[in-house]
Amino acid sequence: MIHQTIVTLTGTGVPHPSPGRAGAGTLVRYGDISLQFDAGRGTVIRLAEAGIEPRDLTAQFITHVHSDHLIDLPDVAMTRWVQNLVNPCGPLTVVSPEGTSAKFARNMFDVFADDIETRQHHEMSSGTIEAAGPEINLVTFAATQEPIRVWASDDQTVVVDSVAVHHEPVTDAVAYRITTPSAVIVISGDTTVCEEVEHLSNGADLLVHEACRSTALGNLVAGTVLEAIFSYHADTVGIGSMAERAGVKHVLLTHLIPPPSSEVESLAFEADVRAGGFNGLVTVGNDLTTISFGPGLSKNEPIDPKAKYETKLDPARLTHVGIWRDELDEIGKEFYQWEVPQLPDRCIAAMNQGVRSDVIGIDLSNVSDLLEPGYLPLETGIASTPSGGLSVAVLTEWPGCSSEMIDWWFGWHIAKTDRYKLWHPQAHFFTQPKYDLSHLEELSDREKYRGNTSWVDEYIGPFPSRLGITFHDPAEIGLTEPQLESAGYGTVIYAVTTDSDHGNELSHLVHAVRRTENGCEMRSRFILPAGTPEFIGPPLLDHCWTEMTHLASFLPRLYRRVTGK
């Protein structure tokens, strides 16, 4: 049986502390095998956060003697000793190049001699500490120019090779290559960009590389004390060229110099690697960044390629309806308009009528009825569904609009509250995309919203609502592209709505956009489960008709203004 190979950064920091970044470390898991590479500041805590305790480690590897890479090695080993009697696990296997870091490992318990002795006398009697002091099983090897095998699992399924790297004046600094049945992972340790790591990385699924923005920041540090630091670390642009030559599929940057403190600063690291010519995946590491390979996952891709653009919804967000004078950008100034169209009589009549019993509403079981030519008995109004739920139907006219414009709108507006407020200025007050993809020019409009979640805060009638609207491919409910095309539809927006505070599912919504002689029409359906109170129907109908009709009144101008098309 082949397992997943799971790589987790236990620390992405450097000697100078920065919030949220523990010291250097990478955990590689395959089945029951857990291999930890380096043990910088905070390693035991980060391991616990990743679900691993020192007693679970199969082996601990060291890249070199710098304190930011092994200051917590004694913590890993002593914690395991403290755990050993309760959960027998034997001494920690430490794999290190012979030389300075091996010497550190041999001597590291010395400074704890008094603590160890006191602990032994105090806790031995209660049976929680064994009589013998902490031990390690130290395995050393010579750091060599050509890769050598330094470790293998008992069944030989997982093997680790090592090669000497260039971190002079530090001696005996190495990189590691871990080969499992599901992935090849290379960990650079600290080094300048070098041929040794390039060869070791040949064809690797993942290269975990230390990163320093030398090219970008070289002029700023010239002549300062930082120049020495920059001189023996890996330039981000150089990493990009090297990884491309080596055919690496995914680069994961760690040991970040200078440590980024914002998304913008992180993206600069990625831009450097791209500038070096790298075409594969790039992830700028944070503590506990995890990338998996193997069964159940498409190989060489992170669990979700969008994951790095994921945002966190602020639970305490302060929001308001309307726009204050200085809040608008140029587009907002031009298109924000407080007044919205008045509801037509047919909508008011449909709202007054309430839930109709003479027609059946659309739900997921009969949604393909929308593919029939012409109109259904209920196009604007509220009805029960075959399963006893509620279906709210709204028909809106979009003269002068195309389905391309509507797809563009859904990809564009979800990025910013200002844009969302244009749509229904009297009801919309906040939006945030779960994945901030708006700057990715290579994505199509549909790719920006399908698979994404738009968190919105809005009034539905008098009810303030905090919703998560997750857009899906309409093929998931049987509305396939060829069927839609032959039925005259340009696009269908299909989404599942949840309560963004609690995550429970509320409704499904379908906006089916069909071409007409002078533009298009939208046939909207909100599908609510049995038990939904009927009083939500009329305000939902009002809200949908108003926002869609209002948007249709300026969408062609807005589309031209923003896209230039």
Stretch of residues binding Zn ion (CB under 5 A), selected from 60-68, 333-341, 356-364, 491-499: 60-68
Stretch of residues binding Zn ion (CB under 5 A), selected from 112-120, 182-190, 278-286, 510-518: 182-190
Tokens, residue 49: 């956060």
In the complex, minimum distance from the CB of residue 63 to Zn ion, in angstroms, rounded to a whole number: 8
Is residue 172 at the binding interface for Zn ion, with CB under 5 A as the rule? no
Stretch of residues binding Zn ion (CB under 5 A), selected from 63-71, 132-140, 446-454, 511-519: 63-71
In the complex, minimum distance from the CB of residue 268 to Zn ion, in angstroms, rounded to a whole number: 20
In the complex, minimum distance from the CB of residue 220 to Zn ion, in angstroms, rounded to a whole number: 20
- Calculate Rg over the CA atoms of the chain: 30
In the complex, minimum distance from the CB of residue 256 to Zn ion, in angstroms, rounded to a whole number: 11
Stretch of residues binding Zn ion (CB under 5 A), selected from 62-70, 105-113, 135-143, 397-405: 62-70
The residue among 68 and 205 lying less far from Zn ion, judged by its C-beta, is 68
The residue among 68 and 407 lying less far from Zn ion, judged by its C-beta, is 68
Inter-helix orientation angle 236-246/214-221, to 10° = 160
In the complex, minimum distance from the CB of residue 40 to Zn ion, in angstroms, rounded to a whole number: 8
In the complex, minimum distance from the CB of residue 192 to Zn ion, in angstroms, rounded to a whole number: 11
Render 276-337 in DSSP notation, one character per residue. Answer: TT--SEEEE--TT-EEEESTTS-TTS-SSTTGGGB----TT----SS--GGG--HHHHHH--
Cα torsion for 209, 215, 216, 218, to the nearest 10°?
Answer: 120
| Conformation bin of residue 438: beta by default, left when phi > 0, alpha when psi is -120 to 50 | alpha
Is residue 419 at the binding interface for Zn ion, with CB under 5 A as the rule? no
The residue among 66 and 249 lying less far from Zn ion, judged by its C-beta, is 66
In the complex, minimum distance from the CB of residue 156 to Zn ion, in angstroms, rounded to a whole number: 31
Three-state DSSP at 353 gives helix
The residue among 81 and 104 lying less far from Zn ion, judged by its C-beta, is 104
Tokens 């992405």, located at residue: 12
In the complex, minimum distance from the CB of residue 26 to Zn ion, in angstroms, rounded to a whole number: 13
How far out from the chain centre does Cα 328 lie?
30
| Euclidean distance between CA atoms 96 and 104, whole angstroms | 10
Binding mask 18-57 for Zn ion (x = CB under 5 A): ----------------------------------------
The residue among 66 and 80 lying less far from Zn ion, judged by its C-beta, is 66
Is residue 66 at the binding interface for Zn ion, with CB under 5 A as the rule? yes
Q: Which of 38, 68, 72, 272 binds Zn ion (CB under 5 A)?
A: 68
Which one, of 47, 51, 104, lies nearest residue 76 by Cα? 47
In the complex, minimum distance from the CB of residue 235 to Zn ion, in angstroms, rounded to a whole number: 15
Tokens, residue 294: 């193997």
The residue among 66 and 434 lying less far from Zn ion, judged by its C-beta, is 66
Stretch of residues binding Zn ion (CB under 5 A), selected from 61-69, 94-102, 299-307, 357-365: 61-69
The residue among 217 and 350 lying less far from Zn ion, judged by its C-beta, is 217
DSSP state of 477: G
The residue among 108 and 414 lying less far from Zn ion, judged by its C-beta, is 108
In the complex, minimum distance from the CB of residue 175 to Zn ion, in angstroms, rounded to a whole number: 12
Long-range contacts of 174-180 (CB under 8 A, 24+ apart): 174/63, 174/64, 174/97, 174/143, 175/63, 175/200, 176/37, 176/61, 176/63, 176/150, 177/147, 177/201, 177/204, 178/5, 178/28, 178/35, 180/3, 180/5, 180/28, 180/30, 180/294
> What is the CA angle 340-517-377, rounded to 5?
75
Tokens, residue 206: 């993942």
The residue among 233 and 450 lying less far from Zn ion, judged by its C-beta, is 233
| Euclidean distance between CA atoms 469 and 111, whole angstroms | 57
The residue among 232 and 459 lying less far from Zn ion, judged by its C-beta, is 232
In the complex, minimum distance from the CB of residue 285 to Zn ion, in angstroms, rounded to a whole number: 14
Cα distances (Å, whole numbers) of residue 265 to 10, 258, 301, 543: 20, 9, 23, 40
Mark 525-535 as b/e (b = at least 16 C-beta within 10 Å): bbbbeeebeee
Q: Which of 72, 161, 172, 190 binds Zn ion (CB under 5 A)?
A: 190
Which one, of 191, 206, 290, lies nearest residue 243 by Cα? 206
The residue among 101 and 403 lying less far from Zn ion, judged by its C-beta, is 101
Contact positions with Zn ion (CB under 5 A) in 220-249: none
Contact positions with Zn ion (CB under 5 A) in 112-131: none
Count of residues in contact with Zn ion, rule CB under 5 A: 3
- Residues of this chain that bind Zn ion (CB under 5 A): 66, 68, 190
